[in-house]
Amino acid sequence: MYSGGMSTTERLIEATRELLWDRGYVGTSPRAIQQRAGAGQGSMYHHFSGKPALARAAIARTTEELRATAEATLGGTGTGTGTGTGSRSAYDRIAAYLLREREVLRGCPVGRLTMDPDVMADETLRAPVDETLDWLRDRLAGIVQEGLERGEFAAGLDPAEIASTVVATVQGGYVLARASGSPAAFDAGVRGLLALLAPGRALPDSPHS
């Protein structure tokens, strides 16, 4: 499953990440981690004190990855949605974030953690999740504020509220898509939000169509 160049530590972390995403904390047993990672019990406990420590490392990796992926689309330069290269508008940056390719039917690995009562009940497991979602809302709010200052959006929009709406649209879109068995429900929510942000503007194509 993993490349031969991956260390045992990396295989254990990746295996735990995948199991947390698919099964949740309770369903992620040390034996399942060892089997998926191709590591023995002794090897696992040599690198980590136990399942909680592995879960902390896995959640930290997952949240770091979400931040990096989000920043790659929210950054102020690069190719926009039909505007060429260079400095991008706030709308294009938000659209790029909403329309990036995702494993829609599998759901969001960070969103999955928020629905896991065992993760939410443990302060050390929950902290990176809360911090990452706070970072994402703040990052989006800052971009909306830039758009307001440039006259891209209707005056009177509240950046914090729009940021929360963007995050809620993405997370809710995962739920609707999984419930219907089709990414179309996710795409409909995203396109609806973009239409509200910039009425009359042509909408970019979805990567899931």
pLDDT in tens, 21-67: 999 999 999 999 999 999 988 888 899 999 999 999 999 999 999 99
**pLDDT band at residue 87 using 50, 70 and 90 as cut-offs:** confident
Torsion of CA 24, 25, 27, 32, to 10 degrees: 110
Tracing tokens 């239409």 back to the chain, one arrives at 195
Point out the least confidently predicted range of 31-35, 152-156, 186-190, 204-208: 204-208
Nearest to 176 by CA among 15, 168, 155: 168
CB atoms within 10 A of CB 99: 20
Which residues 6+ apart lie within 8 Å of 134 measured at CB?
none
pTM of the shown model: 0.87
Reported as a single tens digit per residue, the pLDDT across 167-203 is 999 999 999 999 999 999 999 999 999 999 988 777 7
**Three-class DSSP labels, 94-117:** HHHHHHCCCCCCCCCHHHHHHCCH
Say if residues 59 and 20 touch (Cβ distance below 8 Å): yes
* Domains in the chain: ranges and CATH: 1-48 (1.10.10.60), 60-197 (1.10.357.10)
How far from 175 is each of 112, 120, 147, 151, 208, CA to CA, in Å?
Answer: 10, 19, 29, 33, 16
Residue 8 tokens, joined? 């045992």
